[in-house]
Chain A
Amino acid sequence: MAVNSHQAAVAERTPVTAWDAQGVRRDFPILAQRVHGKPLVYLDNAATSQKPRAVLDALLDFYTRDCSNIHRGVHELSERATAGYEEAREKVRTFLGAREAREIIFVRGATEAINLVAWTFGRERIGVDDEVLITAMEHHSNIVPWQILCEAKGAKLCVTPISDSGELRMDEFEKRLNPRVKLVAVAHVSNALGTVNPVEEIVRMSHARGIPVLVDGAQAAPHMKVDVQELDCDFYTFSGHKVYGPTGIGALYGKAALLDEMPPFHGGGDMISSVTFEKTTYNVLPYKFEAGTPNIAGAIGLGAAIDYVGRIGMERIAAHEHALLEYGTRALARVPGLRMVGTARKKAGVLSFVLEGIHPHDVGTVLDREGIAVRTGHHCAQPVMDRFRIPATTRASLALYNTREELDALAAGVWKVKEMFA
């Protein structure tokens, strides 16, 4: 896995500095509050993560100093806004390791990015009896757009099963790679299980058969260094709000050659070079895919978030979170009747579990009264719940500001749940 080789290489050259947990926490103003009289323990980061002051400042600065529409403005504010927006694109390019900034399309989030690919690439390339191959651990956002497309086109949605530990069955994946498959779409990290998929291998196997691959990186981008050139995937998507940025902004990476061939997604302003009633000529990349006034402040905020994690270092964040994940797994394992759902060998950020005889909603309510925010339910991954024959799980998900003490509080909270329902 690329992440591990990254981590190993970085451990050698990065001077060992202690992880400043309290310093990091001070960067996030929202964390210094009490909920139901208890210190907030925020463990719902896979849903959305909190924002550092640097991001809040970037948003405020934009609206108090530079607010203006971008592109084509000849006045100072518009030039500043345009520069800020395009700088943010360059930051995303670096963050993903893309070759060119024009390969980065700003979207609302991973969901919109996947829909964009379905309705441009998919509309042109997927036809009757073709197949789209996904996995049994996808978020609904990487299932439903393909379902809608397949229904419209008379194509078929095929699913690679997962093992009892929540790992992708690579033998089953290979069996499903046939000439009818026109696209493989796979989560880099599962939001419900935390499984890190062998994306490089998936891309290699698919490319060997000429099949392009979309990687849904919504749950990977916050937790590990991503390099789209190393992965060699054709599309990569992520949501800014899970990477400490604002909501309503995210990015689609696509290889320039593919994006160039694809028709536009939305029609409107900024995505054209010229319009007459007879014919419209589309703009160049990336603007062809960015119709209308985009989320300018959001993009600038996302840029600030990327700067923030960059200053700490994605490798250090990954190492810190990995240690927390192992610590939390051990702490929860000591609770009798608790079963982890998702025990893959390579995991990132997610502790999903069920308690014998106690419904996750009751767990969530009791934990909330302890100031602990977790998510309970199907996590927009109902097929995963069906696979494990459970209606729901309790999910604690990690971010860089979490601490061992918070995972101790989680474990203590789960003991209280047991007591309450004894």
Chain B
Amino acid sequence: MGDLRDLYQEIVIDHSKRPRNRRQMPDADRSAQGYNPLCGDKVAVYVKLENGRLKEVSFEGTGCAISTASASIMTEMLKGKTPEEAQRLFDRFHDLVTTGQEGNGNKPALGKLEVFSKLNEYPARVKCATLVWHTLRSALKGGGTVSTEEG
């Protein structure tokens, strides 16, 4: 199970079993729903903004270990970031999980998100990790529902 442990690292297991910031946010400034029709997973993302920064991010929904851990780690990582910084982090994360490369240039550090560095070896699972990020982006753009099977 050596290589599987690269995918299911302790941090992933921990965040999937004890997800941070998994709660509804009735006073959210922004929110959006995400849906993966291939597996039926649904996720909601809530954002509270203050002075142009993401003061709080939370999510709701149940999914696989990858999707839950990705959502949990995302909510931690984004606290205090501007929407532009959040977008740049997503771009870099997206490169990582689709290619296994972090890409070049002046991009923010991935930090804990590096635990998903082997995800590109499991193509069927990439969308599990990215759905919550697509949903966040939709929330920041004003809301609505995103699907993994669009665009």
Question: With A366-B4, A369-B3, A369-B4 given, is the CB distance from A391 to B66 under 8 Å?
Answer: no
Please indicate the chain B residues that have their CB under 8 angstroms from the CB of A391 in the complex. 39-41, 62-63
Say yes or no: is A359 at the interface (Cβ < 8 Å to chain B): yes
User: How far, in angstroms, from A421 to B68 measured CA to CA in the complex?
Assistant: 14
Produce 1/0 per residue, B120-140, CB < 8 A to A. 001011001000000000000
User: How far, in angstroms, from A31 to B6 measured CA to CA in the complex?
Assistant: 28
Question: With A365-B7, A385-B40, A391-B40 given, is the CB distance from A420 to B125 under 8 Å?
Answer: no
Please indicate the chain A residues that have their CB under 8 angstroms from the CB of B64 in the complex. 359-362
Range of interface residues on A (Cβ < 8 Å): 20 to 34
User: How far, in angstroms, from A369 to B1 measured CA to CA in the complex?
Assistant: 8
Produce 1/0 per residue, A362-394, CB < 8 A to B. 100110010000001110001001000001100
Say yes or no: is A416 at the interface (Cβ < 8 Å to chain B): yes
Contact assessment for B1 and A392 in the assembled complex, using a CB-CB cutoff below 8 Å: no
B41's closest neighbor in chain A, by CB?
A391
Question: With A359-B63, A420-B1, A421-B13 given, is the CB distance from A377 to B39 under 8 Å?
Answer: yes
Please indicate the chain A residues that have their CB under 8 angstroms from the CB of B17 in the complex. 357, 421
B61's closest neighbor in chain A, by CB?
A391
Total contacts A to B, CB within 8 angstroms?
54
Interface residues of A in 333-373 (CB under 8 A from B): 357-362, 365-366, 369
Please indicate the chain B residues that have their CB under 8 angstroms from the CB of A361 in the complex. 39, 63-64, 66, 125, 128
Interface residues of B in 55-101 (CB under 8 A from A): 62-66, 68
Range of interface residues on B (Cβ < 8 Å): 20 to 34
Min C-beta distance of B138 to chain A, whole Å: 21
Contact assessment for A420 and B8 in the assembled complex, using a CB-CB cutoff below 8 Å: yes
B8's closest neighbor in chain A, by CB?
A420
Contact assessment for A362 and B66 in the assembled complex, using a CB-CB cutoff below 8 Å: yes
Please indicate the chain A residues that have their CB under 8 angstroms from the CB of B68 in the complex. 359
Contact assessment for A365 and B40 in the assembled complex, using a CB-CB cutoff below 8 Å: no
Min C-beta distance of B87 to chain A, whole Å: 27
Min C-beta distance of B148 to chain A, whole Å: 13
A420's closest neighbor in chain B, by CB?
B8
Please indicate the chain A residues that have their CB under 8 angstroms from the CB of B13 in the complex. 420-421
Please indicate the chain A residues that have their CB under 8 angstroms from the CB of B40 in the complex. 377-378, 382, 385, 391-392
Please indicate the chain A residues that have their CB under 8 angstroms from the CB of B3 in the complex. 369
User: How far, in angstroms, from A419 to B1 measured CA to CA in the complex?
Assistant: 10
Question: With A359-B63, A391-B62, A420-B8 given, is the CB distance from A365 to B39 under 8 Å?
Answer: no
Which single member of B7, B39, B65, B125 contacts A392 (CB below 8 Å)? B39
Min C-beta distance of B141 to chain A, whole Å: 27
User: How far, in angstroms, from A362 to B128 measured CA to CA in the complex?
Assistant: 10
Interface residues of A in 396-422 (CB under 8 A from B): 416, 419-421
Which single member of A358, A376, A382, A416 contacts B1 (CB below 8 Å)? A416
Produce 1/0 per residue, B1-33, CB < 8 A to A. 101100110000100110000000000000000
User: How far, in angstroms, from A322 to B68 measured CA to CA in the complex?
Assistant: 38
Please indicate the chain A residues that have their CB under 8 angstroms from the CB of B39 in the complex. 361, 376-378, 391-392
B38's closest neighbor in chain A, by CB?
A377
B62's closest neighbor in chain A, by CB?
A391
Please indicate the chain A residues that have their CB under 8 angstroms from the CB of B65 in the complex. 358-359, 362, 421
Contact assessment for B125 and A365 in the assembled complex, using a CB-CB cutoff below 8 Å: yes
User: How far, in angstroms, from A362 to B4 measured CA to CA in the complex?
Assistant: 11
Please indicate the chain B residues that have their CB under 8 angstroms from the CB of A357 in the complex. 17
Min C-beta distance of A143 to chain B, whole Å: 15
Please indicate the chain B residues that have their CB under 8 angstroms from the CB of A420 in the complex. 1, 4, 8, 13
Please indicate the chain B residues that have their CB under 8 angstroms from the CB of A362 in the complex. 8, 64-66
Min C-beta distance of B121 to chain A, whole Å: 10
Interface residues of A in 22-49 (CB under 8 A from B): none
Task: Point out which of B7, B16, B65, B122 has the most chain A C-beta atoms below 10 A from its C-beta.
Answer: B65
Please indicate the chain A residues that have their CB under 8 angstroms from the CB of B7 in the complex. 365
Please indicate the chain B residues that have their CB under 8 angstroms from the CB of A377 in the complex. 38-40
Q: A-B pairs with the 6 shortest C-beta distances?
A: A359-B64, A361-B64, A362-B65, A378-B40, A391-B40, A362-B64
Task: Pick 28 A–B contacts, CB within 8 A, sort by A.
Answer: A357-B17, A359-B63, A359-B64, A359-B65, A359-B68, A361-B64, A361-B66, A361-B125, A361-B128, A362-B66, A365-B4, A365-B7, A365-B124, A365-B125, A366-B1, A366-B4, A377-B38, A377-B39, A377-B40, A385-B40, A391-B39, A416-B1, A419-B1, A420-B1, A420-B4, A420-B8, A421-B8, A421-B16
Q: Which residues of A contact B (CB under 8 A)?
A: 357-362, 365-366, 369, 376-378, 382, 385, 391-392, 416, 419-421
Given contacts A359-B62, A365-B122, A391-B63, 13 further A-B contacts (CB under 8 A): A358-B65, A361-B39, A361-B128, A362-B8, A362-B65, A365-B4, A377-B39, A378-B40, A392-B39, A420-B1, A420-B13, A421-B8, A421-B65
